[in-house]
Amino acid sequence: MPVYLLWEFETPKEEERNKKRHKLIDEVNIPYIERKVKEGVKWEILDMSDGTGRVVELQTFETMEDFEKIWRDEEFHKMVTQYCRTVDNVSVRILRPAISIRP
């Protein structure tokens, strides 16, 4: 069963905070994600925005086991804490499929 992390946040309006955010993404977040994927975690990330500064990010894990590999990792939580300090109005939801209707 897949597991989803749904993130919503606002990018900072201040140029310096936004530069710090991008630096963190490039130097910490992306290398961490790439390493976990190389280790076998089935993890996909889709960022979406309407241009207002509000971002919705959907992180998809193929299985609960894939999700657990990052959720139980202290390094992941340190990275997330650090990142959340660079954005505003963060919310996170852990989701799983409920009902699927297909034609």
Residue 55 resides in a domain: yes
The domain tally of the chain equals: 1
Residue 102 resides in a domain: no
What's the rounded Cα separation, in Å, for the pair 76 and 16?
24
CATH number where 32 lies? 3.30.70.100
User: Alpha helices, DSSP H only, in the chain?
Assistant: 15-24, 30-38, 64-71, 74-84
Residue 103 resides in a domain: no
Residue 14 carries which DSSP code? S
What's the pTM?
Answer: 0.87
Give the pLDDT confidence of 34-51 residue by residue, as tens digits: 999 999 999 999 999 998
Residue 101 resides in a domain: no
Domain that holds residue 39: 3-95
pLDDT surpassing 80 at residue 97:
yes
**How confident is the model at residue 67, as a pLDDT?**
97
pLDDT surpassing 90 at residue 22:
yes
Instruction: Report the mean per-residue pLDDT for the chain.
Output: 94
